[in-house]
Amino acid sequence: GCTSRNDPGQTAEPGATDGASTEDLTIAFVPKLQGIPYFEAMNTGGQQAAEELGFEWLYQGPTTADAAAQADIVRSFIQQGVDVLFVAPNDPNSMAPLLEEAQAAGIHVATTDTDAPDSVREVFVNQASVDGIGEALTDTLLEAMGGSGQYAIVSCGETAANLNAWIEVQEAYTASEYPDAEIVDIVYAGEDQAAATQMATDLMNSHPDLTGLVGECTSSAPGVAQAVEDAGRTGEVFTVGLGTPQSMLPYLESGSSSGSILWDVEALGYLTGWAGVQLATDGDLGDLSGVDNEALAEAEYDESTGVLLLGPPTVFTAENAGDYDY
Amino acid sequence: MTATTTITPPEQRRGQAARARDWFASGGLKDRATLLLGLIVLLLVVMGILDGVGLTSGQFNSDYLASTLIAYVPLALLALAELFVITSGRGGIDLSVGSMVSLTGIVFAMLYQQAGLPLAIAVVLAVLFGALLGAINGFLTAYLGYPALITTLATFYAYRSIALVVSEQRPISGPEISQFYNAAKAVELPVIGGTLPLVPLGVFTFLLPVAIVAWFVLNRTSYGRKLYAIGTNDTAAQWAGIDTRRTRMMAYVTAGAIAGLVGVYTVAQFASARPDAGTSGSGMALPAITIAVLGGVAITGGIGRLSGILLAALLIVWLNASILLVVPGNEGAQAQLLALGLVLLGASLLSNATIRRRQRGLSKPLSVPGTAAGSTR
Amino acid sequence: MTDTAQRTDPAPAPGPAPRLEMRDLSKRYGGVRAIRHADLTVQPGTVHALVGENGAGKSTLIKILSGAEHPDTGTISIDGTPVSIASTTDAIALGVQTVYQEPQLFPELTVAENFFVGREITRGPTIDWRAQAPRMLELLDTVGLDRSLASQPLGALSIAKQQQVSIAKALLEQASVLILDEPSAILTDAEIEVLFGVVRRLAADGVSIIYISHRLDELFRIADEVTIMRDGETVSSQPIGELTVREIAERMVGGAIAEGVHEAGEHGEQVLELEHLTLEGAFSDVSFSVRAGEVVGLYGLVGSGAAEVGEVVYGMRRATSGRMRAAGDDRHPATPAEAKRRGIRMVPANRTSQGSFSFQPIAFNITIGSLGLLGRFGWVSPKAERRIADDLIRRLAVKTPSGRQPIGAMSGGNAQKVVLARQIVEQPRLLVLAEPTQGVDVGAKEEIHRIIADLAERGAAVLVITTDLAEVQRIADRVLVFRSGRIAHEFPPTASQASLLAAAAGAEEHVEAPRLDTEEESR
Amino acid sequence: MTTDTAAPVRSAQLSLRRILPPIVTGQEIVLLAVLVVLWVVLGIFTPAFLTPGSIGPLLVQVAPIALIGVGMTFVIITAGIDVSVAAMIMVSAVTTARMLVAFDIPAILAVLVAVVIGSALGALNGLLIAYGRVHPIIITFGTANLFQWLGLRVFDSSTVNGIPSTLEFFGRGGAGSTFGVPHSFAIAVLAVAAAWWFLRYAKAGRNLYAIGGNQNAARLAGIKVQPRLVWVYVITGALAGLAACMVIATGTATLDQSVGSGKELQVIAAVVIGGTSILGGRGSVVGTLLGAILVQTVVSGVTQLGWPTQLGFLFVGIFILIAVGTDLIRERTRRRA
Ligand SMILES: Nc1ncnc2c1ncn2[C@@H]1O[C@H](COP(=O)(O)OP(=O)(O)OP(=O)(O)O)[C@@H](O)[C@H]1O
Ligand SMILES: Nc1ncnc2c1ncn2[C@@H]1O[C@H](COP(=O)(O)OP(=O)(O)OP(=O)(O)O)[C@@H](O)[C@H]1O
Ligand SMILES: [Mg+2]
Ligand SMILES: [Mg+2]
C-alpha cells in the first residue's frame, strides 16, 4: 500500500531499549528558538550528558520563536523515530496534540524549560519554580532599591506564558512583601534588544521617580541595563533581569545591573538528558544518586506533578558571572 | 496573386501543432505548473534515493509527507488569498493577511470558547469578520485609491495591534478549543483509508472546499473574468463596462474571508488562539506572497492560477520537511531559508527569461499619464 | 509568383552617397518574420514616406534604425559608411533621432525636464538649467507650444501636446536623420500644419526625414519619396509624384480595394437625444439626436470636445448640465455598466490602453463586455465563450489562427476589430465609436467601415466621433462639426471636405470655401 | 501669457524657478505640522517628553531608519522596493560585531567592513533586478531569505558577546553625541541633505525620477537604466551597512540574531508617510526623515503616556493612512487643476 504505518516495527523500537544499554538510545530536544545562548547552553549540557551517559543527543530548533515552525521540527523527530522527545514549547496548548501523536508513535514525550501542563508529557524538567524566579527577581531588585520605590518591567513576547507567569508572581509578591514599592508599568519589546533599550529609556523619562527596571528575558535584561548606562544614571536606577551570564557580565561589572537571575542552564540541559535516559529505561526519576554532577545536587522529583526541579534560581553577580561561558 | 486571400476564417479543426503553439502562446502559466510539478517530482526522487542509501535521519515515506500537510493548509490558503488580491492588479498585494489571521483567530476563540456559541455559528461569524477586515482593505484601496501596499501595511500594524490589545496578549484556550484540534488532525480516510497514509483532516475540511470554490470562481464565473480583466488593464475594464472598484474590493474581501478561515484553522491546528498566530516571527504574509509568486502569480496583475498556488505551497512544505530529515541540527532550519530563497529566485528568473524570449515586446498598455493605466506597475 | 508591384530601386547614384542606406534587413520575432530583405535608401535633405499596412514591418524597420531592436541580417550605412547600431545611444550619436509613435515621456517631470532627460547639459554632476533653458524655449516656439508650459508637469498636458513635446525634443540635437512614426495620428490639422513647416525647414537644412503615416493624402503635401512595404518586404521606392493615393493604397494591400458605399436608408425612432448638454471644460450646449439606423458623424479637431460627448453618453463622465435621453431613458447613465444595460456601447479611441487586455486571449477580449451571455447566475461556460468568439472572429474577418491567441500579439487593425467585436456581441441599440480606424491600414479601415454600415442597417443608432475627414464623409448620414466645445455646423455627407475642415478650423465663411485639399484627392 | 521672443534668456530665467518642483512639498509641511502638534501634546501630557534625555535617544532610534530610508526613497522613486534591508542589516551587523570582538578593529575599519558588506548584498539585489528583469519585490523577497540564512550562518548558533565599545561614536551614550545632538542622527540628517541635493540638482538624481516615471522611455532617452538601478540598490545596501553600525552601537554588548528584524516595514512606512509615491517617479527624502521621526514619536509617545505598548502600532497604521491620504487628495486636486 501507500502507507507503512500498518507495518509492524516500522516506527522506532522504543521497547528495544528496556533497561539494557543506552548505546542506540536517541534523545531529541526541540527548543523554542535556535541560536540564543540560553538554549545553546542547554544543548551543551545535553551533549555533555550524552557523552557521559552514552546516548545520542539530537538538537534542532526553529529560526524564529514560532509555534508552527517548531511543530514542523517535532514532526520530523517523530518521523525519525527518536526514543525520547523533549520540547520547550512556544505555545503549550499547541504542543499538546503533537505530543500525543508522538506518544502514539511509541515515543517518550516530555517537556523542559516550559511546561505543557495539559498534555501527555511524562515529565517536565523545570529549571526553577515560578515562585522562586518571581521572588528572586523582586528580592534582588528591591534590595538594590532599598526596599521601596517605583519600578517597571520590560518584558518580551507579549504572549510568552512563562514570562507572564513570573510577572504575576512579581506583582503579587511586591504587593505583599514590599508595600512601599510599586510596579508602574509593564511594556513588551518583543525579542528586540534595541526596542527594549528604547522602551526602558522612555520609561525612565515618563516616570522621573523610577528607580528600578526589570528585564524579563535574556534580550531585555541587557537592554534595560544598557539604557541606564546610556542615560548616565547608573547608581540611581537599578536593574535586574533574566540574562545569561556572559551577556550580563559588562553590566554587572559596571553596576548598571544589580544581578541576573537565572539558573545553571547547562545543568538544566544535562538534567534533561539524564531524565530522557530514565524515561527510556524505565529508571527512577527521583533517584539522582548515580549522577556525577554537583550542579544537580539540589534537583528533586515530584512524583505527583511529574515535575523534575533543578533547584532554586541562581543569582549571577559580577563575581560569579565570569565562571560561565555562555 | 489576387487580393482575395487576405481573410482566412479560423479553422474549425486544428492540428496538434497549432494546439501546442497555443499552449506556449498562452504564457508562462502552464509552464509554471509544469516546472513546479517537475521540481516536486525531482524532490521526491532525490529524497527517495537519499533515503535508499541511508542518508536521511528518518524514513522518507508517504506517511511523513502526509503528516506535513497540516502545515500545508494555511500556507496554501493564504497564498490563494494573495492570488485574488495580486491578480486584481494595480499593485494589489495584502501584507495584512497574517494580522487578519491573528485577529479573527482571537475573535473566533472569544465567540466559541468564551461566549459559548455553537461551532458552526462561530466559524461563520469569524469568516465574516475576516471578510469585514478585508472589506476595510478593499474600500481603502478600491474606492479611496490608496496603493494596496500602503493600505495593507497600515492595517497590518493596526490589526496586529488590536489582536494583542483585545486579548490582553494572552492566548485563549480551553476545553472546546482543545477538542477543536480534531478538525485539523490526521485521520484515516474512509473506505480505502487503510492503505493510505493518515491525512490531516484540515485538507478536506478547509483547503479542498475553498480550492474547489476558488477554482470555479476564477475559471467559471463572470466574477473571475472581471477579476482577470481589471488586473490586466484597469482602464480597458472600465471601458468594457466593468465595475472595477467593486470587483477589486471583492478581491480584498475574499482575501479577508480566507484569512478568517485560516484564523479558525490555526486555532484548530494549535489548539489555542494566539494573538500573534499570524504575525510572530516573520509573519504569515510574506511566506504567502512568496508562495503566490512562486506559483506563477504575476505581481503586476492579471495572471495567476490555482494550480500554481497549490503546487508551489506543496513544493515548499515538502522541501522544508525533507530538509529537516537530511540536515540535522540548527543548520536544518536555517537551510530552509536558503532553499526558499533559491527556489523563488530560480523559478522567477527562469520563467521570466522564457516568457520574455517567447513574447518579447508584447505590446504593453500605452502609458497615458494621469490615468490609472499610466502607472507603470 | 507574380508580383504586380514593380521594384524601382533608385539606381546607385553616381554623386554623393545617400544619407541612409539599409540593405537586405531581416528580423524575426519567434516564428513571425517581421521584415525580410527590406531595403531603404534615403537621400539627404529629403522627406521620405514609409507606408504599408498594419504589420507590414514599418515600425520594426524604424526600431532597428533607432537601436531599439537588432536586425538578424542586413547592413546599414550612413553617408556611405557602414555603421553598427547596438543601442539607442549609438543611434543618437550617429545623428538618428526618433519620435516614437507613442510619446516616450515622463509624466511626473516638467515639460522642461522632459526635453533633456538623458542628455542633460551638466556642470560637474549638476544640471545646468541656465544653459538648457534658452534652447528649450526656442524649440517650444518652433513646434508652436506656449512657453509657459515649460514648468508644467508633462502629465498635465493633453496627449496631442505631449506628442508635440516629443517632436520638439527630437529637434534638440543636430539630427542627420529624423524619424517620425505616425506623428500626425493625434494632432489637429492646425498642429499638423506647424509640424509640416518644421519638417520642411529641417529638410531644407539637409536633414533626412523618414515619415510614417497611414494618412496617405497628407504624404503628398510633405514627402519627396515614398517606400511601400508589404508583408515585411519593401515592394517599391520612388518619388511620390509618380504615384497617386490610390496606387499607393493598391500596392500596400497588393491588389485593388473595394469602394465602400454607405446607403442612407430609412431611419427609425430616436435613440439618442441631447438637449443643451454641457460638460464644463469640455463642451457646452450640445443638442442633437440620433435615430435607429442612422450614422451620425461628430467631426472635430483634437480637443474640440467631440470626444467627451461620447464619454458622457457612455457614462464614463457626468455632464454638468443639460438633458440627455438615451435608449428610452431620461437618466444619464452613471457608469458604462449602466449604459450597457440599456444597449449603449462604445468603442474607445485608444485600442491599446482603453481597449485591450493584452495578454488575455482574443476570446476573452471579445466576451468580457457581455459576460451575461456566457451563462446564467454569473456562471461562465467556456463553450459559449468559444462559440461567441469564433462567430465574431468570422463575422469581422479577424486574422488569427484561433481565439486563444493573446490580443497583445495582434496588429493594430486586428486589435481594433477585436475591440469593436466586444461591443457588438449583442446588437447595440446605440453604438458610439471614437476614432474607429485611427492608425489602421487601408484594408482594415474599409472592413471596419463596412461593419459599421452593416450595424446601422440592422437598426443600430451609430455615433462616430472622429478626426478623420474622409472617414466621416464616407460613413455618416449627417456630419456635426465640433469647434471649441460647440456644434459649429451640421452638414450632409455630400458636403465637400473643404467645408467641413473650414467649419472645424473656425473659418468665418465655411460654406463651400475653396478646396484646401491636394489635387490627389480623387475619391 | 505673452511670448517674449525678443528676450529668450530673461524669459528662461523667469521660468527657471518653476522648472523643478517646489523646495518643500506639501506633504513635508503637513508632516512637520503634525509632528509639532504631536510633540506639543506629548510635552503637555507626559512629564519629560520634551527634554534632551528623551528627545536624544528618540533621535538615535530614528537614525538608522532615516538612513536606510534615504536608500529606500531612491529605490521607490525608481518604482522599485527592497524588502531585504532587515536581512542586510543582520548580515552586516553580525559580521562587523564578530570582527570587533575577534580582532578589535578600529571604528573606521568596522564601518568600512559593514558598508562594504551591505554594498555587496545590495549589488546582488541590484544586478538581479536590473538584468533579471523580475519585479524587485520578488527578487528582494528571495534575497532576504538568502541573506537571513547567511546571517544565521555567521551567527553560528550563538550570540556575539562582549562587543567592545569601539563604535560608541554612534551610540546612545555620552560619547555618541555632541552638544546634545546624537552623532548618528546628525549623520542621517547629512545623508538626507546630500540625497536631497542629489535628487534635485544632479543629473543622475533627476534621472531616477525619469526611470521611475517611465522606464522604457528612459531607456530610449539614452539613460543607462540598468547600471543606475544597480547603483540605487548598492546605495541602499551601503546605508543598511552603516545603519548596522548604529544598531551595534545603540545595542548592548551582545548581538543576537533578532537584529534588524521588522526594520524593512518600518523603513517602508517612513518612506510612504513621507510622501514618496509607491508607484515611482515622485518622492522626497526630507519627507522620509520626517516620516521616520513621526513613527518613532508615536511609538515612544505611547510608552511614555503609559498606554499599552501594542497600541503604538495601531496609531502607526492610522498615521500611514492619514499621511498618504492627504497626499492622495493633494495629488488628485493637482491633476484636476
Ligand atoms: N515584438 C514583436 N514580437 C513578435 N512579433 C512582432 C513584434 N513586433 C512586430 N512583430 C511582427 O512583425 C510584423 C511587423 O510589425 P511592424 O511593427 O514592423 O509593423 P508596422 O508596419 O509598423 O505596422 P503598423 O502599421 O501596425 O504599425 C508584424 O506582423 C508583427 O506581428
Ligand atoms: N509580441 C508581439 N507578437 C506579435 N506581434 C507583435 C507583438 N508586439 C507587437 N506586434 C505587432 O507589431 C505591430 C507593430 O507594433 P507597434 O507597437 O509599432 O504597433 P503600432 O505601430 O502601434 O500599430 P499601428 O500602426 O496599427 O498603430 C503591432 O501592430 C503588432 O501586430
Ligand atoms: Mg508601427
Ligand atoms: Mg504603426
Q: Using CB atoms, pick whichever of B219, B229, B367 lies closest to residue C357.
A: B229
Whether B3 and C155 lie within 8 Å, measured CB to CB: no
CA B110 to chain centre: 27
Q: How many CB pairs under 8 A join C and D?
A: 116
Q: Using CB atoms, pick whichever of D216, D278, D317 lies closest to residue B147.
A: D278
C–D touching, 3+ CB–CB pairs within 8 Å = yes
Q: Using CB atoms, pick whichever of A60, A73, A94 lies closest to residue B272.
A: A94
Laid out side by side, the sheet with A238-241 consists of A181-188, A149-155, A210-215, A238-241, A259-262, A314-316
How far is the alpha carbon of A215 from chain D, nearest alpha carbon, in Å?
13
Q: Using CB atoms, pick whichever of D1, D16, D334 lies closest to residue C133.
A: D16
Q: Which atom of ligand 1 is nearest to the CA of C101?
A: 27
The whole-angstrom separation of Cα C221 and Cα C212 is 13
Which string of b and e fits B255-291 if b means at least 16 CB within 10 Å?
bbbbbbbbbbbbbbbbbbbbbbbbbbbbbbbbbbbbb
The predicted-structure confidence for A3-46, as pLDDT tens digits, reads as follows 665 554 444 444 444 444 566 899 999 998 888 888 989 999 99
* One domain, residues C175 and C282: no
D36 reaches B (C-beta below 8 A):
no
Question: Is the shortest distance between the CB of C56 and ligand 1 below 6 Å?
Answer: yes
| Strand, coil or helix: D68 | helix
Domain assignment of residue C10, yes or no: no
Residues C202/C178, Cβ–Cβ less than 8 Å: yes
CA–centroid distance, residue C468 to ligand 4 (Å) = 16
Query: Given this model, what pLDDT does residue C511 score?
Result: 42
Q: Which atom of ligand 1 is nearest to the CA of C412?
A: 26
Q: Which atom of ligand 2 is nearest to the CA of C416?
A: 26
Which residues form the pocket of ligand 2, taking CB atoms under 6 Å from any ligand atom?
B 359, 361-363; C 29, 32, 54-55, 59, 101, 409-413, 439
The predicted-structure confidence for B145-155, as pLDDT tens digits, reads as follows 999 988 999 99
How many helices (DSSP H) and strands (DSSP E) are in chain C? 16, 21
Whether C130 and D13 lie within 8 Å, measured CB to CB: yes
Of B246 and C266, the structure prediction assigns the larger pLDDT to B246
What CATH number does the domain containing C288 carry? 3.40.50.300
- pLDDT-flagged residues of chain B (< 70): 1-30, 186-196, 281, 351, 353-377
The whole-angstrom separation of Cα B363 and Cα A299 is 75
| Strand, coil or helix: C121 | coil
Helices within B53-116 (DSSP H only):
62-67, 69-87, 97-109
* One domain, residues C456 and C411: no
Residue C422 pLDDT more than 90? yes
Nearest to B170 by CA among B209, B113, B219: B113
Q: Using CB atoms, pick whichever of B177, B274, B332 lies closest to residue A159.
A: B274
Query: Given this model, what pLDDT does residue B9 score?
Result: 38
CA–centroid distance, residue C46 to ligand 3 (Å) = 21
Nearest to C327 by CA among C319, C316, C318, C338: C338
CA–centroid distance, residue C213 to ligand 3 (Å) = 9
C-alpha cell at D258: 533578532
Domain assignment of residue C349, yes or no: no
How far is the alpha carbon of C34 from chain D, nearest alpha carbon, in Å?
21
B342 reaches D (C-beta below 8 A):
yes
C-alpha cell at D102: 575577534
C-alpha cell at C301: 479637431
Which residue's alpha carbon is at the smallest distance from atom 13 of ligand 1? C34
> Could you list the residue range(s) of the whole structural domain that residue C440 is in?
268-343+430-523
Residues B99/B152, Cβ–Cβ less than 8 Å: no
The whole-angstrom separation of Cα D74 and Cα A324 is 47
**D168: nearest CA in chain A?**
A230
The predicted-structure confidence for C160-182, as pLDDT tens digits, reads as follows 788 888 888 888 888 899 999 88
Residue at grid coordinates 546599414: C76
Q: Which atom of ligand 1 is nearest to the CA of C63?
A: 18
Strands A149-155 and A181-188: parallel
B321 reaches A (C-beta below 8 A):
yes
How far is the alpha carbon of B316 from chain A, nearest alpha carbon, in Å?
12
- The one-letter amino acid code at B155 reads T
* One domain, residues C403 and C478: no
* One domain, residues C287 and C418: no
Q: What Cα–Cα distance (Å) separates residue B275 from each residue in A158, B94, B279?
A: 9, 19, 8
The total of structural domains in chain C comes to 3
Residues C441/C408, Cβ–Cβ less than 8 Å: no
Residues A272/A42, Cβ–Cβ less than 8 Å: yes
* One domain, residues C477 and C445: yes
Chosen for mutation from B5, B362, B363 (greatest number of chain C CBs closer than 10 Å) is B363
Q: How many CA atoms lie within 13 A of B161 on its CB side?
A: 20
The whole-angstrom separation of Cα C481 and Cα C490 is 6
Helix or strand (DSSP H, E) at C177 = strand C177-181
DSSP string, C244-293: -HHHHHHHHHTS--PPP--------SEEEEEEEEEETTTEEEEEEEEETT
Query: Which of B6, B355, B357, B359, when mutated, tests ligand 1's pocket best, judged by the most ligand atoms within 8 Å of its CB?
Result: B359
C-alpha cell at D106: 578600529
Whether D265 and B153 lie within 8 Å, measured CB to CB: yes
* One domain, residues C234 and C322: no
The whole-angstrom separation of Cα D230 and Cα D259 is 26
CA–centroid distance, residue C392 to ligand 4 (Å) = 24
Across B257-271, C10-24, C129-143, which has the greatest mean pLDDT?
B257-271
Residues B179/B113, Cβ–Cβ less than 8 Å: no
Q: What is the pLDDT along chain D (337 residues), one digit of tens a residue?
A: 344 444 444 444 444 555 666 677 777 888 899 899 999 998 888 877 888 878 888 899 899 999 999 999 999 999 999 999 999 999 999 999 999 999 988 989 999 999 999 999 999 999 999 998 888 988 998 999 999 999 999 988 888 888 888 888 887 777 777 887 899 999 999 999 999 999 988 889 989 999 998 888 888 777 889 999 999 999 999 999 999 999 998 877 888 888 888 888 889 999 988 988 888 888 889 999 999 999 999 888 888 888 887 888 899 899 889 888 887 887 777 665 5
Burial class, A172, CB count within 10 angstroms (exposed 0-12 / middle 13-18 / buried 19+): middle
Residues B322/B47, Cβ–Cβ less than 8 Å: yes
The whole-angstrom separation of Cα B261 and Cα B257 is 6
The least confident of A58-62, C33-37, C420-424 is C33-37
Which residue's alpha carbon is at the smallest distance from atom 30 of ligand 1? C55
C154 reaches B (C-beta below 8 A):
yes
CA–centroid distance, residue D317 to ligand 4 (Å) = 48
* One domain, residues C140 and C203: yes
Instruction: Give me the count of residues in chain A.
Output: 326
User: If you ran DSSP here, which 8-state letter would residue C329 be given?
Assistant: B
Question: Is the shortest distance between the CB of C411 and ligand 1 below 6 Å?
Answer: yes
Give the bridge partners for C465, in sequence order. C298, C434
Chosen for mutation from A156, A230, A236 (greatest number of chain D CBs closer than 10 Å) is A230
Nearest to B187 by CA among B202, B175, B172: B202
Domain assignment of residue C362, yes or no: yes
Query: Given this model, what pLDDT does residue A239 score?
Result: 94
Residues B86/B92, Cβ–Cβ less than 8 Å: yes
Which string of b and e fits D289-301 if b means at least 16 CB within 10 Å?
bbbbbbbbbbbbb
Average pLDDT, chain C: 82
Rounded-to-5 percentages of helix, strand, coil across chain D? 75, 0, 25
* One domain, residues C416 and C480: no
* One domain, residues C46 and C163: yes
Q: Using CB atoms, pick whichever of D12, D209, D221 lies closest to residue C134.
A: D12
**C402: nearest CA in chain B?**
B10
The predicted-structure confidence for A63-96, as pLDDT tens digits, reads as follows 888 888 898 899 999 988 899 999 999 888 888 8
Which residue's alpha carbon is at the smallest distance from atom 4 of ligand 2? C409
Whether B158 and D314 lie within 8 Å, measured CB to CB: yes
Burial class, D332, CB count within 10 angstroms (exposed 0-12 / middle 13-18 / buried 19+): exposed
The whole-angstrom separation of Cα C517 and Cα C411 is 30
Query: Given this model, what pLDDT does residue B365 score?
Result: 30
Query: Given this model, what pLDDT does residue D185 score?
Result: 94
CA C299 to chain centre: 15
Of A124 and B9, the structure prediction assigns the larger pLDDT to A124
Residue at grid coordinates 528604547: A198
Whether D252 and A222 lie within 8 Å, measured CB to CB: yes
Domain assignment of residue C50, yes or no: yes
Sketch the domain layout of chain B as residue ranges: 74-186+194-308
Backbone angles phi, psi at C521, to 5 degrees: -60, 100
Whether A202 and D303 lie within 8 Å, measured CB to CB: yes
Helix or strand (DSSP H, E) at C229 = strand C225-230
How far is the alpha carbon of B166 from chain A, nearest alpha carbon, in Å?
12
Query: Given this model, what pLDDT does residue C523 score?
Result: 34
Domain assignment of residue C7, yes or no: no
Q: Across residues A113-118, what is the average pLDDT?
A: 85
* One domain, residues C411 and C447: no
> Of C253, C287, C305, which one is at a domain's C-terminal end?
C253
The whole-angstrom separation of Cα B172 and Cα B103 is 12
Residue at grid coordinates 531644407: C204
* One domain, residues C245 and C323: no
ipTM above 0.90, yes or no: no
Nearest to D53 by CA among A251, A211, A233, A213: A233
> Of C229, C253, C277, which one is at a domain's C-terminal end?
C253
C chain contacts of residue B373, beta-carbon cutoff 8 Å = 353-354
Which domains are seen in chain D, by residue range? 22-336 (1.10.3470)
**A219: nearest CA in chain D?**
D256
pTM over 0.80? The answer is yes
Query: Given this model, what pLDDT does residue C243 score?
Result: 86
* One domain, residues C398 and C505: no
Domain assignment of residue C15, yes or no: no
D chain contacts of residue B282, beta-carbon cutoff 8 Å = 261
How far is the alpha carbon of B367 from chain C, nearest alpha carbon, in Å?
7
How far is the alpha carbon of C406 from chain B, nearest alpha carbon, in Å?
7
CA C58 to chain centre: 14
Neighbours of chain D (3+ CB pairs under 8 A): A, B, C
Domain assignment of residue C9, yes or no: no
How far is the alpha carbon of B147 from chain D, nearest alpha carbon, in Å?
7
Neighbours of chain A (3+ CB pairs under 8 A): B, D
Average pLDDT, chain A: 86
Q: How many CA atoms lie within 13 A of C271 on its CB side?
A: 26
> Of C410, C425, C440, which one is at a domain's C-terminal end?
C425
Domain assignment of residue C233, yes or no: yes
